[in-house]
Amino acid sequence: MESSFISDTDTVAAWRDALDREGRRVVLTNGCFDLLHVGHVRYLQEARALGDALVVALNGDASVRELKGEGRPVNTAADRAEILRALACVDRVVVFDEKRATRVIDAIRPHLYAKGGDYTPESLNPEERAALDRAGSEIRILSLVPGQSTSATLRRMAGDGDKSPGTGPRLAILGSGHGSNFEAIADAIDRGTLDATIAVVLSDVADSRVLSLARSRGLPALHIEPGSERGGRLGDAALKEIADRLKSASVDLVILAGFMRILRGPVLEAFAGRILNIHPSLLPLYPGLGAWRRALASGDTETGCTVHLVDSGIDSGAMLAQERVPILPGDTAETLHARIQEREHELYPRVIAAHWAGLMKQG
């Protein structure tokens, strides 16, 4: 990255050592800092006040695009760095192109690391947290200025910053695999039969089809590292990251579409009554994995699909709608699942619209 406002990481590391010898403390923070707003400025001033010098590790253009979607960043890394360096509170800017700031943390070994938002040291990304532990960095969580974000600024400029009744919801789609329900929802939006916006797509599987489909539609699509808890449970850092991504994308409804993990804690609390799931059975029959296979193996003559609200159980929340599907002689697991999915693709967009209309009516 060529810019006189961007410092080389090794040079900053050497500068950090020189300051250290003088007993001075270096603060590091990282972020995209696209379209600077007053929230950024106050945050950076607060971070700088924690030590004697502030280094900003800036997400490179490719990583901003991955985090925020096509059309972002608005400003190139070179321009963002120049703007940051014009602030009295910013001493150095380095750029990193990976998703995480781990390499920069390892190189610069800050005395103090500042992070914005409602993180706790435990819910920081485990890789970054391990790098901070290696460096012996103190971790400080700074509060963000409510309502201030680049995404909100862009929405205000586009004229759809305020959510008023009658405006479609902003959706987050969470999926682990094939993504056919995601496609059905996105197609319904494109056709105009579902008034909604897909604000972000999240997946616990890095190479899932749902993420590549979302990216090919120019939507923000992010892999969330699920953690290594037993039984496929989402770790605290993953739950925190999901909750933060949903909030920063100003999401109204969370749509689980083949998401094979159980949500709990911060996500359920923040979006109570606003998380929907689709399940390929007539619940309460056959919750859990491979529901259609179990319906077939039991010799049932019909099955179906259910859209329900999500609680802390497995496919157990209040039901919103069901569609019945006959099990035909000669059906295999594949033919049956394909027929159920046809119904799912028609049912899910309809239920999303109806649920949102209900929430709007309640005010």
Instruction: Show which residues are catalytic.
Output: 279
Instruction: Pick the piece of the chain touching ligand GAR (CB under 6 A) from 111-119, 121-129, 263-271, 274-282.
Output: 274-282
Q: Given candidates 155, 240, 261, 279, which one binds ligand GAR under the rule CB under 6 A?
A: 279
Q: Given candidates 60, 69, 220, 258, which one binds ligand GAR under the rule CB under 6 A?
A: 258
Residue 220 interacts with ligand GAR (CB under 6 A): yes or no? no
Closest residue to ligand GAR using C-beta atoms: 258
Torsion sign, CA atoms 141, 146, 151, 154: negative
Cis peptide leading into 284, omega within 30 of 0?
yes
Q: Given candidates 249, 257, 295, 307, which one binds ligand GAR under the rule CB under 6 A?
A: 257
The footprint of ligand GAR on residues 282-311 (CB under 6 A) is 291
Nearer to ligand GAR, 95 or 278 (CB): 278
Residue 117 interacts with ligand GAR (CB under 6 A): yes or no? no
Residue 278 interacts with ligand GAR (CB under 6 A): yes or no? yes
Q: Given candidates 280, 283, 320, 347, which one binds ligand GAR under the rule CB under 6 A?
A: 280
Instruction: Pick the piece of the chain touching ligand GAR (CB under 6 A) from 85-93, 132-140, 179-187, 354-362.
Output: 179-187
Taking the complex as a whole, the smallest distance from the CB of residue 200 to ligand GAR amounts, in Å, to: 17
Taking the complex as a whole, the smallest distance from the CB of residue 321 to ligand GAR amounts, in Å, to: 13
Residue 180 interacts with ligand GAR (CB under 6 A): yes or no? yes
Token pair 């974000």 is found at 149
Longest dimension (CA), the chain: 81
Q: Which residues pair with 302 in a beta bridge?
A: 326
Q: Given candidates 60, 179, 304, 349, which one binds ligand GAR under the rule CB under 6 A?
A: 179
> Which H or E element spans position 104?
helix 102-108
Kindly determine how many residues on this chain lie close enough to bind ligand GAR according to the rule CB under 6 A: 15
One DSSP character per residue, 177-237 reads S--HHHHHHHHHHHHTSS--EEEEEEESSTT-HHHHHHHHTT--EEE------GGGPPPHH
Taking the complex as a whole, the smallest distance from the CB of residue 217 to ligand GAR amounts, in Å, to: 15
Torsion sign, CA atoms 115, 118, 122, 124: negative
Nearer to ligand GAR, 176 or 248 (CB): 176
The footprint of ligand GAR on residues 32-61 (CB under 6 A) is none
Residue 204 interacts with ligand GAR (CB under 6 A): yes or no? no
Q: What is the DSSP letter of 123?
A: G
Instruction: Pick the piece of the chain touching ligand GAR (CB under 6 A) from 40-48, 128-136, 170-178, 327-335.
Output: 170-178
Taking the complex as a whole, the smallest distance from the CB of residue 186 to ligand GAR amounts, in Å, to: 11
One DSSP character per residue, 218-285 reads T--EEE------GGGPPPHHHHHHHHHHHHHTT-SEEEESS--S---HHHHHHTTT-EEEEESSSTTS
Q: Which residues pair with 137 in a beta bridge?
A: none
Residue 344 interacts with ligand GAR (CB under 6 A): yes or no? yes
Instruction: Pick the piece of the chain touching ligand GAR (CB under 6 A) from 38-46, 73-81, 178-186, 230-238.
Output: 178-186
Token pair 């963002």 is found at 80
CA 319, 232, 226, 128: dihedral to nearest 10 degrees?
Answer: 140
Residue 65 interacts with ligand GAR (CB under 6 A): yes or no? no
Tell me how far apart the alpha carbons of residues 268 and 263 are, in angstroms, rounded to a whole number: 7
First CA to last CA distance, the chain: 49
- Give the interface with ligand GAR as residue ranges (CB under 6 A): 175, 177-181, 257-258, 278-280, 291, 315, 341, 344
